[in-house]
Amino acid sequence: MILLDWGRTAGHAPGVAAIFGTGLIGGNAVGALQRNLSHARLRHMPWDWSLDTSGQAQQIVQAARNVLEGQGDAVFTTIWAAGRSGFGTDVQGMQDEFAALESVVDLALDIGADLPINRRCYIHLSSAGGLFEGQTCCGTDTMPKPLRPYGEYKLAQEAYIRDCIALGRRHILRPSSVYGYAPGARRGLFAVLIAKALQGQTATIMGALGTQRDYVFADDIGRFIADLVHDHASDPTSAGLSTSLLVSGRPATIYEVIGMVRDSSGRPLFVEIDPRPENARHNTFLRSALPSGFRPTGLQEGIALTVRAVSGERSQGKLI
């Protein structure tokens, strides 16, 4: 995990953010926070999913309190982007993730205990794909109908965060199918397709070519998270709750994506289709579902940017 702190300006209070999960979304959020906040500095702290994280938690709590101490108007934000589950994760795997979330919430409550509740903030990354799998034209009023343990537990996580009023201002974010590339992060469908095209290898598709999904660029989510943190530091007056769908509102088929990867990479892309895909349901969202301030990058542009990032890794010999 990463502890990030920043100084006071005329526009915002000083503060600390604890970011759990520094993969594709969390890593982009850290980068955007560094660009958004004055004199931001970060420290990598040990934290893992082991059963006993008490020693790690104590180090994190003490480090955060050391920065917050003596700054009466400071703010504290926790960002949960550490979910490592996927559509196929079983009940035990989701229970393990929930236990990790509980430990992070306990840690956040410990750090923020001496702060007024309006100076605490919690940002939780959920999953629109897991909650609305198989549903189309979803909007802000669409009721989630999870089909797997993955979606059921993501919904349970949201309920847990909603009920924890002591966390302060709570933002529950529901990104749809996230794409992009970050060194060291778990490689998603788009990054795999691009890597295979650049290497002249065959990619296996675990879905149907006609499956419609809503794809959202990870950089856009990172910027949205950074804006939420900055807004809280600028105006820590509310301890309310919000739930947002982070989607593009422009569905695309896997067939379209393959064509865009070919065009952007300038390479042929050979694919092998799973004859019995387990993840081939449509999942689309309305453009009206986008929250204020969220500006999704167009799919063609986002894929081109991802191709550039993956190509950069390959040129350095880091792409496997």
Give the pLDDT of the chain (320 residues) as one tens digit per residue: 999 999 988 889 999 999 999 999 999 999 999 998 878 999 999 888 666 667 888 999 999 999 999 888 999 999 999 988 999 899 999 999 999 999 999 999 999 999 999 999 999 999 999 999 999 999 999 999 999 999 999 999 999 999 999 999 999 999 999 999 988 778 888 999 999 999 999 998 877 889 999 999 999 999 999 999 999 999 987 778 999 999 999 999 999 999 999 999 999 999 988 777 677 889 999 999 999 999 999 999 999 999 999 998 766 655 55
Q: Is residue 185 a contact partner of residue 23, using CB atoms and an 8 Å limit?
A: yes
Alpha helices in the chain (DSSP H): 24-36, 54-68, 91-112, 128-131, 149-163, 189-199, 218-234, 254-265, 299-315
pLDDT at 314: 64
Tokens of 306: 């991802």
Q: For 297, what's the count of Cα atoms within 13 Å in the CB-facing half-sphere?
A: 20
Cα–Cα distance, 148 to 230 (Å, whole number): 35
SS3 content of the chain, % helix, strand, coil (to 5): 40, 20, 40
Q: Dihedral angle at the C-alpha atoms of 303, 246, 177, 288, nearest 10 degrees?
A: -90
CATH number listed for the domain at residues 2-180+216-248: 3.40.50.720
* Strand 169-175 versus strand 75-80 pairing type: unpaired
| Other C-beta atoms lying within 10 Å of the C-beta of residue 58 | 12
Task: Scan for tokens 């750090």, then name that residue.
Answer: 111
What residues contact residue 298 under an 8 Å CB cut-off, 6+ apart?
250
* Residue ranges per structural domain of the chain: 2-180+216-248
pLDDT at 99: 93
pTM of the model: 0.94
Cα–Cα distance, 228 to 173 (Å, whole number): 11
pLDDT at 48: 82
Indicate the DSSP class of residue 186: P
pLDDT at 306: 95
pLDDT at 56: 87
Count of H helices and E strands in the chain? 9, 13
